[in-house]
């Protein structure tokens, strides 16, 4: 039976500003303040939850708060602050590239799925303000997040935006170049190490390949996802890379400090792969990662996913 994450813990962590970064068990730790990175992920969870009647009223309230936070976080040059103290003062001059990529991803998702026209217009304002920054991104995950966000925006515009299509191609090709530089028969990956949110790299290339009708990009996405699966699924159990040492090529993979975002990324990437390839094997991969998350977490919404929904596929 399919299970959907409840919003209880997300509601607990949220005040009239945004999501408190950390908790002490199930109690918000206000001293940790807020960050755009987390709020962007929470926005996608809330928007996806608005599609379910039992969550709609709560999800609408949450989404409104999160979108307001991201709008306030954007700087005049299109980038974003990331860290805000509990006193509502921004603590940084500008946020990281990852937080930029996640914010762009969230508003791209909002362009496609926000249930109110006014919210879609706000997402469009933020997206357009940030778009020129995409070409300056240097890090692989920031590029991947941006590609996913731009892919959602492109679908929202009915695949009729040549400038956006070009940007998706440029960022996806940058990821493909990383693959060409680092891949070998025994290491089908984009970098000489695996760190965090790994499956998002494969997902981004797959989405771009499908949008651009580029079989080469799709094949890179499938190759890398198959390889990532071979590393992280053991006896039908998802075993994500731990953050206490990661997994350097030729080295020993870390098995401690595993993060739930790895499961969310694997679920999303595998479902995208299943949709594109029509290979039901990937649905099984998604199920394994899904079960790992729900087996280890009894509280809260899945803050690390795009809302847990299967984009472009009717459930």
Tens digit of each residue's pLDDT (9 = 90 or more) over 203-241? 999 999 999 999 999 999 999 999 999 999 999 999 999
Q: Name the pLDDT band for 46 (thresholds 50, 70, 90).
A: very high
Predicted pLDDT of residue 218: 98
Mean pLDDT across 6-30: 96
Work out the end-to-end distance of the chain between its first and last CA atoms, rounded to an integer number of angstroms.
13
Mean pLDDT across 100-126: 98
The C-alpha atoms of residue 244 and residue 228 are separated, in whole angstroms, by 18
Mean pLDDT across 62-79: 98
Predicted pLDDT of residue 2: 54
Predicted pLDDT of residue 118: 98
Stretch among 126-135, 228-237, 245-254, 294-303 having the lowest mean pLDDT:
294-303
Six-digit token string for 214: 């580029």
pLDDT of 4 above 80: no
Q: Mean pLDDT of all residues in the chain?
A: 92
**Which helix H or strand E contains 194, and what residues bound it?**
strand 193-194
Closest by CA to 64, choosing from 20, 100, 118, is 118
pLDDT of 312 above 70: no
Q: Whole-model pTM? A: 0.92
Predicted pLDDT of residue 296: 53
pLDDT of 15 above 80: yes
CB atoms within 10 A of CB 155: 17
The C-alpha atoms of residue 178 and residue 189 are separated, in whole angstroms, by 8
């Amino acid at each position: 039976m399919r299970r959907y994450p409840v919003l209880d813990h997300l509601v607990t962590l949220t005040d009239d500003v945004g999501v408190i970064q950390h908790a002490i068990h199930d109690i918000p730790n206000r001293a940790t303040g807020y960050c755009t990175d987390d709020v962007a992920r929470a926005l996608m969870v809330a928007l996806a939850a608005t599609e379910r009647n039992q969550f709609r009223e709560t999800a609408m309230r949450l989404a409104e708060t999160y979108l307001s936070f991201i709008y306030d976080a954007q700087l005049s040059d299109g980038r974003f602050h990331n860290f805000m103290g509990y006193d509502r003062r921004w603590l940084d001059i500008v946020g990281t590239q990852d937080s930029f990529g996640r914010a762009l991803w969230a508003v791209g998702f909002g362009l496609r799925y926000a249930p109110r026209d006014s919210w879609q217009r706000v997402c469009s304002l933020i997206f357009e303000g940030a778009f020129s920054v995409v070409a300056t991104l240097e890090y692989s995950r920031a590029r991947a997040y941006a590609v996913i966000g731009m892919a959602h925006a492109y679908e929202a515009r009915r695949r009729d935006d040549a400038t956006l299509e070009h940007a998706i191609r440029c960022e996806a090709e940058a990821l493909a170049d990383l693959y060409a530089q680092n891949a070998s028969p025994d290491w089908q990956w984009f970098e000489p190490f695996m760190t965090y949110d790994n499956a998002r790299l494969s997902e981004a290339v797959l989405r771009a390949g499908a949008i651009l009708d580029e079989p080469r990009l799709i094949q890179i996405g499938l190759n890398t996802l198959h390889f990532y699966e071979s590393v992280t699924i053991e006896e039908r159990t998802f075993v994500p890379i731990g953050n206490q040492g990661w997994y350097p090529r030729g080295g020993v993979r870390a098995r401690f400090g595993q993060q739930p975002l790895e499961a969310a990324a694997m679920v999303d990437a595998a479902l995208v792969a299943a949709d594109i390839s029509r290979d039901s094997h990937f649905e099984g991969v998604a199920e394994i990662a899904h079960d790992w998350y729900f087996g280890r977490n009894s509280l809260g919404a899945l803050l690390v996913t795009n809302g847990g929904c299967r984009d472009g596929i009717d459930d």
